[in-house]
């Protein structure tokens, strides 16, 4: 999918950036009145729990990116009937499932300490749960069709259709309904993503965007690995071994 050198850059870059974010995000101390770049402000009600911003949000972001990549390659497959695009689409869906699970776990842990329970059906939790269900349904559909060409075609249609409902689940409903998650209706910092409000200091924002970049690169690297593995499997099937 990519050149050998560029995938090396993505590979080492993502490892470097995520390690940096991991260390910096956990080690930089909090301070009531931050003086230097090496201090985070204290967000009332969140304190140390605010550090989850650097991990949980990029994971959810990557899950949504994986979803859209899957839908886009679904469209590409339908237009060209090239089985390689189906391979990319299904690989991306699998990674989307992985990142959704990671986002759910980090979110539930955070909710345990911030809200008092791992799971309380907050609108955000409902929407990530539905994302997991969509991936589950996608793979259930794939296993229910024998013919390779038909499986690729119908699952491409399903990933496109579910891609159309993702904006409702991720960007619309949780912001219109009352909930505890930052950015829900009635949140005093305002509707919309937390990282765009002025509660987040600029050094946190830099680290956050760096983390987004790192996780996206990590996704690209993993996608490349899976696509290559998928290609080998296809070759093996075709050669009849």
Partner 1 sequence: MNTFYSTYAVLLKDAQSELRTRYAVNALVMFVVTAAVIVQLAIRSELPSSAVLSGLFWVVVFFAAMSGLSRTFVSEEERGTSMTLQLVASPSAVYFGKLSFNIVLTLLLNSAITILFTVVFPGFVVETFGTFLLTVLLSSIGLASTSTILAAIIAKANTKGTLYPVLAFPILIPLLMTAMRATTRALDGEPFGNAAEEYQILISYIMVITAGSYLVFDYVWKD
Nearest to 77 by CA among 197, 18, 158, 174: 158
Judged by CB under 8 A, the stretch of 32-40, 108-116, 171-179, 229-237 that binds partner 1 is: 171-179
Pick from 1, 30, 42, 78 the residue near partner 1 by CB under 8 A.
78
Site string (84-123) toward partner 1, x via CB under 8 A: ----------------------------------------
Nearest to 73 by CA among 135, 156, 137: 156
Residues numbered 40-59 forming contacts with partner 1, rule: CB under 8 A: none
**Long-range contacts, stretch 196-203, CB < 8 angstroms, 24+ apart:** 199/43, 200/43, 200/53, 201/34, 201/40, 201/41, 203/28, 203/34, 203/37, 203/38, 203/40
Dist CA 89 CA 155 (whole Å) = 9
Does the protein bind partner 1 through residue 164 (CB under 8 A)? yes
Does the protein bind partner 1 through residue 178 (CB under 8 A)? no
Does the protein bind partner 1 through residue 63 (CB under 8 A)? no
Does the protein bind partner 1 through residue 156 (CB under 8 A)? yes
Does the protein bind partner 1 through residue 169 (CB under 8 A)? yes
Pick from 2, 68, 158, 195 the residue near partner 1 by CB under 8 A.
158
Does the protein bind partner 1 through residue 165 (CB under 8 A)? yes
Dist CA 162 CA 139 (whole Å) = 13
Pick from 30, 42, 157, 213 the residue near partner 1 by CB under 8 A.
157
Dist CA 184 CA 174 (whole Å) = 6
Q: Which is nearer to partner 1, 28 or 154 (CB)?
A: 154
Taking a C-beta distance cutoff of 8 angstroms, is the pair 89, 67 a contact? no
Q: Which is nearer to partner 1, 105 or 185 (CB)?
A: 185
Q: Which is nearer to partner 1, 77 or 219 (CB)?
A: 77
Taking a C-beta distance cutoff of 8 angstroms, is the pair 183, 174 a contact? yes
Does the protein bind partner 1 through residue 224 (CB under 8 A)? no
Site string (125-154) toward partner 1, x via CB under 8 A: -x---xx-xx-xx--xx--xxx---x--xx
SS (H, E, C) 20-64: HHHHHHHHCCEECCCCCCCCEECCCCCHHHHHHHHCHHHHHHHHH
Q: Residue 128 is inside which H or E element, if any?
A: helix 123-143
Question: Can you give the binding site for partner 1, defined by CB under 8 A?
Answer: 78, 126, 130-131, 133-134, 136-137, 140-141, 144-146, 150, 153-154, 156-158, 160-162, 164-165, 168-169, 172-173, 176-177
């Amino acid at each position: 999918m990519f050149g050998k050198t560029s995938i090396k850059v993505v590979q080492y870059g993502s490892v470097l950036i995520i390690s940096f974010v991991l260390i910096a995000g956990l080690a930089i101390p909090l301070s009531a009145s931050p003086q230097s770049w090496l201090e985070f402000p204290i967000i009332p009600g969140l304190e140390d729990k605010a550090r989850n911003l650097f991990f949980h949000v990029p994971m959810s972001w990557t899950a949504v990116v994986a979803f859209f990549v899957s839908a886009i390659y679904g469209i590409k497959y339908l237009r060209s009937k090239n089985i390689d695009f189906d391979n990319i689409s299904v690989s991306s869906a699998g990674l989307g499932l992985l990142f959704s699970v990671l986002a759910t776990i980090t979110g539930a842990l955070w909710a345990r300490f911030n809200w008092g329970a791992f799971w309380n059906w907050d609108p955000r939790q409902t929407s990530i749960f539905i994302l997991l269900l969509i991936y589950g349904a996608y793979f259930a559909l794939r296993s229910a069709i024998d013919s390779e060409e038909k499986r690729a075609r119908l699952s491409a249609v399903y990933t496109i259709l579910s891609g159309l409902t993702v904006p409702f689940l991720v960007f619309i409903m949780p912001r219109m309904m009352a909930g505890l998650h930052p950015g829900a209706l009635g949140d005093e910092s305002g509707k919309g993503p937390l990282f765009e409000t002025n509660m987040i200091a600029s050094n946190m924002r830099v680290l956050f965007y760096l983390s987004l970049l790192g996780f996206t690169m990590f996704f690209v690297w993993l996608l490349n690995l899976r696509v290559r593995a998928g290609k080998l499997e296809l070759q093996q099937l075709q050669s009849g071994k």
